[in-house]
Amino acid sequence: MSILQQSGDEFKGQTPWPSGPLGGTSWLKVLPFLNQHVVVVEGVEDVQDAYTIYLDSILSLTTSSVVGVIHLGNTRSLRSCTALPAAVSDSVRMDGVSLGHCLSCLTSLVATPASPRPNYNTDSEEDMVNGGMHTFNQTHMRKAFQLMNDLRSKKMLCDIQLVAGSIEVPAHRVVLASCSPYFCAMFTGDMSESKAHQVEIREVDGHTLRKLVDYIYTAEIEVTEENVQVLLPAASLLQLMDVRQVCCEFLQSQLHPTNCLGIRAFADLHTCTQLLDQSHAYAEQHFTEVVQGEEFLGLSLQQMCSLISSDKLTVSTEEKVFEAMISWIKHDKPARLEYMPKLMEHVRLPLLSRDYLVQIVEEEALIKNNNTCKDFLIEAMKYHLLPADQRHLIKTDRTRPRTPISIPKVMIVVGGQAPKAIRSVECYDFQEDRWYQVADLPSRRCRAGVVSMAGRVYAVGGFNSSLRERTVDVYDGVRDQWSAVASMQERRSTLGAAVLGDLLYAVGGFNGSIGLSTVEAYNYKTNEWMYVASMNTRRSSVGVGVVDGKLYAVGGYDGASRQCLSTVEEYDPVADQWCYLADMSTRRSGAGVGVLKGQLYAAGGHDGPLVRKSVEVYNPQTNTWRLVCDMNMCRRNAGICAINGLLYVIGGDDGSCNLSSVEFYNPATDKWSLIPTNMSNGRSYAGVAVIDKPL
């Protein structure tokens, strides 16, 4: 039987419209016909209204797929129905056919030939079962929720109004209950809210409630720094656990030494167990940077004890823990002084050097004036009086070495020349042996000094292909962002940069006119640069390194003699003085200078047109240089860094082209090896640093 050869009574009561402009008895049905559609309506005075509301808002059909509209009305022959195209009339042989209620045409919505109906099977999975067909439409739920959200936006079929403050959010009970256990309990239980048309949600602000109801209908939500602290507790209340999890993941991605303690407290407050563990571990791993922030000084006694008692605390020496504890006490001395003995239980004084115990700890007034704290000091001194092979006999929590979890490292290669100054920054993951791009520098920069300090990467000075720079940009690996800090006093390119103590030193360089002997130091805590003693020799293309509290300037080019240098100078920050040391065996400008196991390496460089692959190492104890194995390639103006007992030399140029290769030196075997994967581009004059791998 043709689809139009059905009794009109079979259509009755189907697809009722809600009360409103169309009337409660109006209805409409869409029938498939030859891969297209025929629309049948009843009780609708304006067919265009019916088409717009039903097709646009509900079925999302296109005009091109509708071949006609039939209005169910008085007794007239189908032959006179001009709404049906001739092809439809002919194909169903409508002469003499009656539907019980004859059809009367009102209008045609089709001005152009119909296009083929879309093939919806692309979204379906079909199986033949017992001679029949079982189908699963993968987009059905999405389309259904789109429809329900469209209805909600028009306030159609809504049976509940949620109120938070001055904001009202209309919705459908069944939708809310199906997605939120909170609403399910509210609407299906015996509470008064189950029958109310309006429910006030007091614990959630209106804007957040609207976002969460939108999420229920759309499965979409944006979590930001501005809304996460209200979104997470609201999602917890409404038991929208997917949103809660996304908030936790967002906070985990934002962990930083300046905020990890606050995130830890927030996670603890809202019982986010995994986030609590992650933020606590982050604080342990970045303790040295964390204690420099305001959040650390605001910790409670319990939080302070939890942090400094951890075996997994990552510190180079126990001095950092003692100094952090003293800073915390002095931040609010009247209120916190009584906590000294409790905190000193967790400071492992026996692990401090004897000199530090005598010169610093014993002289600290807070220790002198507390008998319990003095007992801890005596315990530490007794530990040091024992022979090394007997110290294990004293077993307390304070004699147990900390065992921090190793944090994976990545190598970051900043800017460079390829062939002009570039903004590109690449990262190398040692574990995965792969390179990947991170945020570009704010502007082109090559020949800069690059160091890692307090968990961030500093790009100092350099050349932008037209001017020498005095600006400084800082990279935050957690946020993958660059920002500017205070500029140097002088413009410097081809400078040396190194960190000694809490200061970043910018050594020598070239200002566009002459080579420089001046040296500046940057205090990141005050964001200020200051001059220190100048070197004895002007040095551009100089290599620098730090060993045992001294800063070394190696080789370079002085500009006056127009010769590359073999001389080396040492800076003593206590005396603020430079002095000459033993010369290298050969002149080197643009050498890669790095420190490995307390010794200073000078790799490659050039002497005029001669590019070197030789490497020599300086022993500060004997003030002597010695040659080690040559690199695989001649390199000058290469980056250099040390990690995991190996010395890496990155890129540079060989006198004719830039290099993308990286090789490393193993002092145990006196051998250089190339890593399997090259950088994406060859680059010389790039800066290199090693940082913790962002979580």
Q: How do the domains of the chain map onto residue ranges? A: 8-116, 152-254, 302-392, 409-692
* Predicted pLDDT at 54: 44
Tokens of 559: 């500009």
**pLDDT of 224:** 93
Contacts of 79 (CB under 8 A, 6+ apart): 89, 94, 95
Give the CATH superfamily of 152-254.
Potassium Channel Kv1.1; Chain A (3.30.710.10)
Bridge partners for 606 per DSSP = 589, 611
Q: Retrieve residue 209's tokens.
A: 């409630």
Is the omega angle on the peptide bond into residue 419 within 30 degrees of 0, that is, cis? yes
Question: Alpha-carbon Rg of the chain, whole angstroms?
Answer: 38
Q: Which has more confidence, 48 or 637?
A: 637
Q: State residue 65's pLDDT score.
A: 44
Residues 6+ apart with CB under 8 A from 494: 447, 463, 509, 510, 540, 541, 542, 590, 685
What's the pLDDT tens digit per position in 292-327?
889 999 999 999 999 999 999 998 889 999 999 999
Euclidean distance between CA atoms 433 and 258, whole angstroms: 30
What value does the mean pLDDT take over residues 10-20?
A: 37
Evaluate whether 445 touches 462 at the Cβ level (below 8 Å). yes
Q: Strands 503-507 and 496-500, how do they pair?
A: antiparallel
Task: Tell me what pLDDT residue 404 has.
Answer: 84
Q: Taking Cα atoms as reference points, which of 629, 605, 608 lies closest to residue 617?
A: 629
- What's residue 126's pLDDT? 59
pTM of the complete model: 0.58
- Say whether 302-392 and 152-254 share the same fold: no
pLDDT of 391:
81
Structure-block tokens of residue 56: 């646009």
pLDDT at 90: 35
Asked which of 139-143, 275-279, 419-423 is least confident by mean pLDDT, the reply is 139-143
Cβ–Cβ under 8 Å, residues 105 and 83: yes
3 state SS of 207: helix
- Average pLDDT of the residues in 251-256: 88
Residue range 663-690: average pLDDT?
A: 97
* Nearest in space to 305 (alpha carbons), one of 270, 336, 271: 336
Q: Are strands 36-42 and 132-137 parallel, antiparallel or unpaired?
A: unpaired
Residue bearing the bigger pLDDT, 378 or 16:
378
Contacting residues for 230 by C-beta, under 8 A, at least 6 apart: 205, 208
**What pLDDT score was predicted for residue 491?**
98
Summarised one tens digit per residue, pLDDT across range 488-498 is: 999 999 999 99
pLDDT band for 389, please (50, 70, 90 cuts): confident
What are 150-161's pLDDT values in tens digits? Answer: 999 999 999 999
Residue 495 contacts residue 461 (beta carbons within 8 Å): yes
Closest CA to 290 of 271, 268, 310, 270: 310
Rounded Cα–Cα distance for residues 249 and 284 (Å): 19
Under the banding of pLDDT at 50, 70 and 90, the label for residue 2 is: very low
187 phi-psi bin (left φ>0, alpha ψ -120 to 50, beta other): alpha
Half-sphere CA count of 656, side-chain side, radius 13 A: 2
Whether domain 409-692 has CATH 2.120.10.80: the reply is yes
Q: What band does 128 get if pLDDT is binned at 50, 70 and 90?
A: low
Paired strand residues for 647: 642, 665
Distance CA 303, CA 343 (A): 11
Average pLDDT of 457-473? 97
Question: Is 52 a residue whose pLDDT tops 80?
Answer: no
Mean pLDDT of 16-25: 39
For 249, residues 6+ apart whose C-beta sits below 8 A from its C-beta are: none
pLDDT, position 134: 77
Q: What is the pLDDT of residues 567-611, one digit of tens each?
A: 999 999 999 999 999 999 999 999 999 999 999 999 999 999 999
Q: What is the mean pLDDT of the chain?
A: 84
Q: What pLDDT does residue 39 have?
A: 52
Tokens of 295: 């959040």
Each residue of 636-665: pLDDT tens digit?
999 999 999 999 999 999 999 999 999 999
Q: Kindly state the helix (H) or strand (E) to which residue 226 belongs, with its residue range.
A: none
Q: Are 383 and 391 within 8 A, CB to CB?
A: yes
* pLDDT, average across residues 513-539: 96
- Which of 1.25.40.420, 3.90.980.10, 3.30.70.1060, 2.60.120.10 is the CATH number of 302-392? 1.25.40.420
Between CA 479 and CA 457 the distance in angstroms is: 12
Q: Is 215 a residue whose pLDDT tops 50? A: yes
> What is the band of 437 on the pLDDT scale with cuts at 50, 70, 90?
very high
